[in-house]
């Protein structure tokens, strides 16, 4: 699919790189620090919000892009020795020449950073690519609007689309309803966006939505939780009996 978003590489305030869209004020990550934003919004406020991490943990990411969120998650899986199955959607994969300019593995000391980054961007839709015993990733080259989801699959959703001013079609109640049904009860969706319309659409879908402290340079972000079923207890579903890759 031809990428309608042409972009250029920029360095952000914490030394990590991101891509800036040409002609509009929109980036893949915050200019105040791509790494710190990704770490705060998706890892600290998403993955670390589970009192007990489900094992295996099923994650959906909307917009794989540079792979920074996936890279930080794969690192976490390897460091914690916890199994994570990561499914990303990306209709406009970045070219190899662009990926080679991104400096994410170099921001960390682990000798396996390049291998993890390579595994993420080699992933296709057919089967999971694995990084060691802990991180398994697939990437679907389709638009979110065209993706058919399995019901009740994901514990955690990283909703990392371009903002609603750039891509309003990504932030609709219809889209959130499809994502909601793809999540397990007690599942968590995190996004950097706190726009009123978006939060209202999430609430109308059935999520319990809260504004929580945002990353550096942004006061707030949103966390949406799919309510548990009657008499179900938080974090009860830890081991998926049907785990099969």
Ligand X SMILES: C[S@@+](CC[C@H](N)C(=O)[O-])C[C@H]1O[C@@H](n2cnc3c(N)ncnc32)[C@H](O)[C@@H]1O
Closest CA to 122 of 82, 157, 70, 83: 70
Note whether 92 binds ligand X by CB under 6 A.
yes
Binding mask 118-137 for ligand X (x = CB under 6 A): --------------------
Task: Name beta bridge partners: 156.
Answer: 59, 188
Closest CA to 28 of 11, 14, 48: 11
Give least dist CB 60 to ligand X, A: 11
Contact assessment for residue 117 and residue 73, using Cβ atoms and an 8 Å cutoff: no
Cis peptide before 56 (omega within 30 of 0): yes
d(CA 141, CA 88): 9
For ligand X, the closer of residues 144 and 221 by Cβ is 144
Size of the site for ligand X (CB under 6 A): 19
For ligand X, the closer of residues 45 and 186 by Cβ is 45
Give least dist CB 226 to ligand X, A: 20
User: Sheet harboring 220-225: ordered strands across?
Assistant: 129-131, 135-140, 84-89, 57-62, 154-159, 183-191, 220-225, 208-213
Note whether 144 binds ligand X by CB under 6 A.
yes
Contact assessment for residue 120 and residue 171, using Cβ atoms and an 8 Å cutoff: no
CA distances from 239 to 16, 130, 236 (A): 35, 20, 9
Distance of CA 57 to the CA centre of its chain: 13
Span of 52-60, 160-168, 200-208, 215-223 interacting with ligand X by CB under 6 A: 160-168
- Residue from the set 33, 46, 54, 65 that interacts with ligand X by CB under 6 A: 65
Note whether 28 binds ligand X by CB under 6 A.
yes
Binding mask 166-205 for ligand X (x = CB under 6 A): -x--------------------------------------
- Residue from the set 85, 89, 139, 225 that interacts with ligand X by CB under 6 A: 89
For ligand X, the closer of residues 5 and 112 by Cβ is 5
Note whether 139 binds ligand X by CB under 6 A.
no
> What's the token pair of residue 3?
């990428």
Residue with tokens 């800036």: 20
Residues that bind ligand X (CB under 6 A): 5, 28, 62-63, 65-66, 68-69, 89-92, 143-145, 160-162, 167
């Amino acid at each position: 699919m031809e990428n309608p978003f042409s972009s250029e590489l920029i360095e952000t305030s914490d030394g990590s790189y991101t891509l800036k869209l040409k002609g509009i004020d929109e980036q893949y990550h915050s200019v105040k620090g791509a790494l710190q934003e990704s770490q705060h919004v998706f890892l600290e406020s998403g993955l670390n919000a589970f009192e007990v991490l489900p094992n295996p943990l099923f994650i959906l990411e909307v917009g794989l892009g540079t792979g920074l969120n996936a890279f930080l998650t794969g690192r976490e899986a390897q460091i914690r020795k916890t199994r994570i199955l990561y499914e990303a959607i990306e209709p406009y994969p970045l070219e190899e020449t662009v990926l080679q300019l991104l400096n994410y593995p170099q921001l960390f000391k682990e000798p396996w950073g390049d291998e993890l980054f390579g595994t993420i961007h080699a992933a296709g839709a057919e089967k999971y690519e694995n990084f060691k015993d802990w991180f398994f990733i697939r990437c679907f080259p389709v638009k979110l609007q065209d993706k058919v989801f399995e019901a009740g699959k994901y514990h955690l959703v990283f909703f990392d689309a371009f903002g609603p001013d750039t891509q309003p079609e990504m932030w609709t109640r219809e889209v959130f309803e499809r994502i909601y049904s793809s999540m397990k009860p007690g599942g968590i969706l995190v996004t950097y966006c706190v726009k009123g319309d978006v939060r209202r659409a999430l609430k109308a879908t059935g999520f319990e939505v809260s504004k929580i402290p945002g990353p550096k340079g942004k006061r707030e972000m949103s966390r949406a939780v799919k309510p548990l079923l009657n008499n179900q207890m938080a974090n009860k579903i830890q081991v998926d009996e049907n785990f099969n890759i």
